[in-house]
Amino acid sequence: MSGIIGIASRHNALPSVLQGLQHLAQKGHQHCGLVVHGRQGDTPSPARLHRHRRAQGVDAWLQQLHSPCPELGPGDARARAHPLNGLQGALALGHIGPAVDTGPQALQQALPQLSHGPNAHLNSHARVAVVVHGALQAADGLREALRERDYSFKSTSVAELLAHLIDATGQDDPVQALHRSLGLLQGPVALGVLFHDQPERMFAIQRGAGLHAAASPDLLAWASHTAALPAGLVPLPAWPDGQVLEIQAHPDGVTHTVRG
C-alpha cells in the first residue's frame, strides 16, 4: 500500500516531508519521491516545482544525502552536491509505495507526476504536480483526447493523466479544476496538488479514501496515515468527502479553509 503526505510551512517544508515519508515506509516500498515549490540553493531564478524520485526505499535515499561519495575527497565540493542539498520551499508533497512496473521505464511510473502543459518542450516548467493514494480508473478515450490537445505522456500512470486533466481544465480556478478532473475518473482516491502559478497554496481532496490533517500556527500537514504527521500538531476535523482542503503558507503563518 502506498502513502502520501503534504506539508505547508512558514519555513522549509522539505525536512518535514522527508520525515513523513520515513514514517510511511513499509517493507516492499521500492519507490519514493517528492516535489517542492521553491528554489534550489542560492539561485536567483523564480520559485518553481522541483521533483525528485528514486527507485529505492526512503531510508536508503536519506542515507545517500548524508554520506559523501567515497571516491571523492572530503574537501571536494562534489561530495556535498546532492540534488536535495539547498532545496527549500514552503510547500511540499511526498509519495512512497511499491513499484508498479519493472525495467528501464519503472521510474517514469513513480509519483509525484507532473504536467508541463500542452506543446511542452525541454525547457518548459512543470505547471501541475500531483500525488495520489487510491485506485483511480480512467476511460481509455481520455488519454487520446489529451494527446489531441497536444499533451504528451511519459508514463501509463493514471496520476500523470490526472495532472494533465487538472491542467487542461484549470481555467484559473484550481478548486473547480480538481472537481472537473475527478468527475472524469472513477474509484476511491485521496490526492494532493501543487500549481506552479499558486506559489503559496496547496490543495488536497479525498473521495472514499480518508486523509488526516493536523496543524500549528507555523505548519499544516496532511497524510494518508496519521503516523506520517509531525508530532506536536493539533488534529483537524475531517473535512467532508469530495470537498477541497485549501492551505495557504504566508510569511506570518499557515491558514486553511474547506471549499466545496
pLDDT beneath 50, residues of the chain: 69-81
Round to whole Å and give the CA distance between 254 and 251.
Answer: 8
Predicted pLDDT of residue 86: 86
Helix (H) or strand (E) holding 102: none
Predicted pLDDT of residue 40: 86
- Residues recorded for the chain: 260
Question: What is the residue-wise DSSP string for 222-260?
Answer: EESSGGGSPTTPEEPPPPPTT-EEEEEEETTEEEEEEE-
Question: What is the residue-wise DSSP string for 35-65?
Answer: EEEEEETT--SPPEEEEEEESS-HHHHHHHH
Q: Residue 72 has what DSSP assignment?
A: S
CATH class of 3-259: alpha beta
Q: Which three cell numbers stand for residue 3?
A: 502513502
Domain spans in the chain, listed from the N-terminal domain onward = 3-259
- Classified as helix, coil or strand, 156 is coil
C-alpha closest to that of 163 among 194, 188, 134: 194
